[in-house]
A and B are shown apart, each in its own frame.
Chain A
């Protein structure tokens, strides 16, 4: 598996506990729209992703990340 696939798999695993409606995930699934997450859910989820990969996703960066695919790419860059 490539690095990106590896990250994607982990991100999807981290999304599951917050995916209350069982939405099918693709790269273009949006957190606010499709998953209907509120700001508190986003906060908990981001903390889980940060701890899993030992990175920081600043709120400034979070504002630019709307989809699962964008998050996977951002994690890849931050892990550098």
Chain B
């Protein structure tokens, strides 16, 4: 999509009749993007970071920019121990595995990172996937089979929906975070078939948390198993940083916990942990685990080191929560409409009424030197336009002040706040 990626010597594309051109179905999307660019704004979905200076700063189009939209919650990406582990693995095991976990793709550090996960979560089992998306895709499509049921929150992440589409189970949705609605729907299903209730600890668009305690109780009442995606909570919810389920006292109540290495852990990869005695069987049946190459040795080595450090990162945890509270308070006082009344997680969503205002505000912030995520339907619930901020434990007090200042200036510039 980026113009600079087109090369001068590319062959001329031989045209096919529009009605048989499979690419014609994207004409609407192409036109919408063009209309947005014609209005004079930068493309919010084509940002390039030319240099990354730290977990909280990068150079974008030659300008030093504070990063407030990276999910790098615990700021582990530049941790010296993490980097050393990665370099060592590169030197010792090479750049890649060239194969599936099931065949030639399991090296020492794949075992090591699974052990680090078992220790971090206090579980008997841990399975690592190549991305968080594939962890959800694999677990959900494999756990629930034909004639069984998956019951999911309407605001679930795309990876959960895609796991449902890939599998053969019957899919039932309930209204976002509604315990009553979940109870009602479970009550209407036949009692005999197996059921999997899929929940998320933190919902990443609005940054709200789930009433897991009540939902898990309802699921158990109806004899359903529970999978919770804790992608956006690892490291800073609960006494051991295991997630919202730990924070709400649900140790031993959740059957499967899915997580990712791409957020708090600071690299890439996904996983599921469980105490189920037959958990290892997933490795034999799960297609997104079997039919893809495993993570490179340097990635699993950095992940293992990062996870072990996260267990004891109490100061970082505290600082992250302070940062989230300060930005939430600051933006509330300025008069912005936020996704949650209180700072529930490290994600703070600023709600804007129109795409024009959202993109305008996003660009104004970028010009001041602040990067946030822009999110739009269909990724957002209820057709909202969001500027999504995610805090990092490494944001300094001074950066937090500048963040609120830049929101004040951009908000007034775009007449979003008085």
A interface with B by C-beta (< 8 Å)? 38-40, 43, 46-47, 50-51, 54-56, 58-60
Report how many residues on chain B are interfacial, defined by Cβ distance under 8 Å. 18
**Pairwise interchain contact A56-B185, C-beta atoms closer than 8 A:** yes
CB-defined A-B contacts under 8 Å, sample of 10: A38-B378, A40-B377, A40-B383, A46-B173, A47-B181, A50-B185, A56-B172, A56-B185, A58-B149, A59-B172
B154 contacts partner chain A, Cβ-Cβ < 8 Å? yes
Interface of B is mostly: mixed
Q: Which 7 A-B pairs have the closest CB atoms?
A: A59-B171, A58-B170, A56-B188, A58-B172, A43-B154, A60-B170, A58-B171
Known: A51-B184, A55-B188. A40 touches B171 (CB 8 A): no
**Which chain A residues lie closer than 8 Å to B184 at the CB level?**
51
Within 8 A of A (CB), among B359-418: 377-378, 381-383
**Pairwise interchain contact B164-A59, C-beta atoms closer than 8 A:** yes
Chain A nearest CB from B384 CB (Å) reads 10
**Pairwise interchain contact B171-A60, C-beta atoms closer than 8 A:** yes
**Which chain B residues lie closer than 8 Å to A54 at the CB level?**
188
In the bound assembly, the distance between CA atoms of A6 and B377 in angstroms comes to 36
**Which chain B residues lie closer than 8 Å to A39 at the CB level?**
378
B108 contacts partner chain A, Cβ-Cβ < 8 Å? no
Encode B169-210 as 1/0 by CB contact (under 8 A) with A: 011110100000100110011000000000000000000000
Identity of the chain B residue whose Cβ is nearest the Cβ of A43 in the assembled complex: B154
Name 4 extra pairs, CB < 8 A, besides A40-B381, A59-B164.
Answer: A40-B383, A46-B173, A47-B175, A59-B171
**Which chain B residues lie closer than 8 Å to A56 at the CB level?**
172, 185, 188-189
**Which chain A residues lie closer than 8 Å to B189 at the CB level?**
56
Chain B nearest CB from A79 CB (Å) reads 12
In the bound assembly, the distance between CA atoms of A51 and B331 in angstroms comes to 39
In the bound assembly, the distance between CA atoms of A40 and B161 in angstroms comes to 14
Known: A40-B383, A43-B154, A47-B181. A59 touches B173 (CB 8 A): yes
Chain B nearest CB from A33 CB (Å) reads 15
Q: Which of A38, A43, A58 has the most CB of B within 10 A?
A: A58
In the bound assembly, the distance between CA atoms of A29 and B148 in angstroms comes to 32
Chain B nearest CB from A61 CB (Å) reads 8
Chain B nearest CB from A7 CB (Å) reads 17
**Which chain B residues lie closer than 8 Å to A40 at the CB level?**
377, 381-383
**Which chain A residues lie closer than 8 Å to B381 at the CB level?**
40
Chain A nearest CB from B32 CB (Å) reads 15
**Which chain B residues lie closer than 8 Å to A38 at the CB level?**
377-378, 383
Identity of the chain B residue whose Cβ is nearest the Cβ of A57 in the assembled complex: B172
Q: Which of A50, A55, A56 has the most CB of B within 10 A?
A: A56
Identity of the chain B residue whose Cβ is nearest the Cβ of A61 in the assembled complex: B170
In the bound assembly, the distance between CA atoms of A44 and B378 in angstroms comes to 15
Within 8 A of A (CB), among B36-76: none
Chain A nearest CB from B146 CB (Å) reads 11
Chain A nearest CB from B211 CB (Å) reads 18
Chain A nearest CB from B29 CB (Å) reads 15
**Which chain A residues lie closer than 8 Å to B164 at the CB level?**
59
Identity of the chain A residue whose Cβ is nearest the Cβ of B380 in the assembled complex: A40
Identity of the chain A residue whose Cβ is nearest the Cβ of B169 in the assembled complex: A60
In the bound assembly, the distance between CA atoms of A23 and B69 in angstroms comes to 42
Identity of the chain B residue whose Cβ is nearest the Cβ of A55 in the assembled complex: B188
